Structure 1
Amino acid sequence: MELRTLRYFVAVAEAESVSAAAERISITQPALSRQMRELERELKVVLFDRRTGRLRLSAAGRQFLDHARDVLHSADVAVGAAETISAGRLVRVTIAAPSTTLTDVVAPFIATFGPGDPLPSVVETDGPKALETLYQGTDLALVTHAPPAQWRSLAVAVFPMFAYVPPDHPKAAHRVLDLPELLADRLILLDHSFRPRLVLQEALTARGLMPRDVVECGNAQVAQALAAAGRGVAVVSDDPRFGLVGVPLTAGGAPLGIRLFAAWDPAHHAAGLLADMARRLQDHCVARYGTGVLP
């Protein structure tokens, strides 16, 4: 069954006349009548009641009309989607990122979207697994490691590592904290599945330093909550919460931070749009976190 035949059927049903429908869709009346009879033979259903002078749908024809309209509507939607794809546009965009990045970076960025932007959805995933989702339908992945060359990527930000303390803590007045100064306190650290912990551990190991008192935590917000409760100094890279003061960390005087990369498939039909979105995210991060955070 061809879509064209279904369109002919709907036209005849709405006009209640083969001649009127034929004129509307620019086909001869005999040809249209032949198409309708062939459709009935194919479906093995009588669609029209021809017993009176006026062409009317049979009971079966009335039921089939709704299905025919649904099929034609779905076909029109599919054609529209194909036109959008061929033009390199996106109706929807899926962004994958770690939980902290989704909360502190992606959500505020999505809040800047306008009516002309694709409808966003997000996928929460940890670390390098975000890149794997590019094989599974994700359009844009945010990761804290430089992606392999098979992906197109852009460094969108470098987020400082902070020591979070209550306002009355002695270290709250520091402009920065170098690693040896940090180790004088009990540290509230994320576990080793989190990039901030790995960055801190690499910097400590490179300088032969070892924390003496550590509380491990599996959530950055809970780490800050523990710091607010006076249980130690939380070392994370996310935005401040619970009234805490964030003191930037340095390692040998150099800022300690986490790079964030946006990655996408260069063969994606909307690769140009995704590149523009990555640059918009970069601008958003600069505006939100300051011009000094980019590499």
Structure 2
Amino acid sequence: MDLRLLRYFLAVVEAGTVHGASATVHVAQPSLSRQIRRLEHDLGFELFERSARGLSLTAAGRAFLPVAEDLLTRATQARATARAISRGTVSDLTVVAAPTTVKDVISPFIVRAGASGIIGNAIEALPEHVYAAVERGDADFAVGTRIPPAELRSMVLGHAFLWAQMPAEHPLASRTGVPISELVQEPLILMSRAHGVRQMLDSAAARAGLAFTASVETTSPVLAQALAAAGRGVCVLSDDPQFGLDAVPISTSAGDLIITLFGVWDEMHYAGARIVECLRELSTFNAELYPQTVGIGAGATAP
């Protein structure tokens, strides 16, 4: 099957019109229409319903869409395999993770690995989009905090605390942990409700039968830390502290609130064995970064 035609098909689906797709794939509209008709002829069914209002996928087109996406992903992996074979080495793999994970875990790990490390690039994505980047072939493997999809291979890399962060002179700063019942009495600087760490805190408070109102809500972890450092309240984040803030674990009746990190990859990946080796090294590195969390049995997965 001509992969070029599959790319044209996906471009039309993405754009919603042949006209819009023609600019994306740099093919004139009449020629692109003929290529789509050719693909339909080769397949033996129509992909689109055509009307004055535009194009819409037929039932057969909707069924074929994930097949086309998978074929192109495999083709991308095949080209990567060929390049790796020609070089005689596996290097410069791409990892996808949430921005906090890239900053606090992936980047320091790259520095530790040095010139021989296989990670050559990192893509930042929202937690809910991390694994999709692996499925599309945009990244070679992922480090995520959500439950991995069954279609991908995964392993637990370790855990990290959900921190209450405050200036060193704050009464809670000298504690080894702060119960959530005490924490909610403080003026809280929290992420917006769409953020995973906020959902995790809200869920823990609900399980404990606690109610609270955020003093400040923000979409920026750095701003939350800046406000806490300015004495405006206590921020709750999974990010490592900065601006001189102290970080204290949050405890509940079930244990400290911790986030589980998963390493995720496609078992068909040409560098699968090397990815597993890298993830094991990353797991060891994470245990060095967050030694307190090793062995904690009452963890949680970030929503």
Residues 109, 285 of structure 2: 8 Å contact kept: yes
Q: Aligned partner of 1:220: which letter?
A: P
Q: Which residue in 2 is equivalent to 1:279?
A: 280
| Cα-to-partner distance string for 1:155-188 (whole Å, 9 max, x where unaligned) | 1121111111111111112221111100111101
| Cα-to-partner distance string for 1:238-282 (whole Å, 9 max, x where unaligned) | 111011111110112611111111100011011111111111110
Partner SS for 2:82: helix
Q: Aligned partner of 1:104: which letter?
A: D
Question: Equivalent residues in 2 for 1:74-113 (5 A)?
Answer: 82=82, 84-85=84-85, 89-113=89-113
Q: Which residue in 1 is equivalent to 2:36?
A: none
Q: Which residue in 1 is equivalent to 2:42?
A: none
Within the alignment, does 1:115 sit opposite 2:115 as a pair? yes
CA 1:119–1:131: 2 relative to 1, 3 Å: closer
Structure with max Cα Rg: 1
Residues 258, 293 of structure 2: 8 Å contact kept: no
Structure 2 distance, partners of 1:177, 1:154, is: 30
Q: Which residue in 1 is equivalent to 2:240?
A: 239
Give the TM-score of the pair, scaled to structure 1. 0.69
Q: Which residue in 2 is equivalent to 1:65?
A: none
Comparing 271-280 with 203-212, greater Cα deviation is found at 203-212
CA 1:223–1:80: 2 relative to 1, 3 Å: closer
Q: CA deviation at 1:212?
A: 3.1
Question: Equivalent residues in 2 for 1:91-240 (5 A)?
Answer: 91-118=91-118, 120-134=120-134, 135-240=136-241
Partner SS for 1:112: helix
Residues 174, 247 of structure 1: 8 Å contact kept: yes
Structure 2 distance, partners of 1:87, 1:154, is: 29
Q: CA deviation at 1:150?
A: 1.0
Q: CA deviation at 1:116?
A: 3.2
Structure 2 distance, partners of 1:277, 1:203, is: 33
Q: Aligned partner of 1:203: which letter?
A: A
Structure 1 distance, partners of 2:132, 2:294, is: 27
Structure 2 distance, partners of 1:91, 1:252, is: 45
Count of aligned positions: 218
Residues 85, 269 of structure 1: 8 Å contact kept: no
CA 1:252–1:131: 2 relative to 1, 3 Å: same
Structure 1 distance, partners of 2:255, 2:119, is: 40
- Listed as ranges, the gaps of 5+ residues in structure 2 are 1-77, 297-303
| Cα-to-partner distance string for 1:211-246 (whole Å, 9 max, x where unaligned) | 134311112121111100111100111111011111
CA 1:80–1:133: 2 relative to 1, 3 Å: closer
Q: CA deviation at 1:89?
A: 4.7
Q: Aligned partner of 1:139: which letter?
A: D
CA 1:253–1:87: 2 relative to 1, 3 Å: same
Q: Aligned partner of 1:136: which letter?
A: G
Residues 165, 235 of structure 2: 8 Å contact kept: yes
Structure 2 distance, partners of 1:191, 1:228, is: 19
Structure 2 distance, partners of 1:146, 1:79, is: 29
Q: Percent identity?
A: 34
Structure 2 distance, partners of 1:153, 1:87, is: 28
CA 1:263–1:119: 2 relative to 1, 3 Å: closer
Q: Which residue in 2 is equivalent to 1:251?
A: 252
Structure 2 distance, partners of 1:154, 1:244, is: 32
Q: CA deviation at 1:146?
A: 2.0
CA 1:254–1:109: 2 relative to 1, 3 Å: same
Partner SS for 1:113: helix
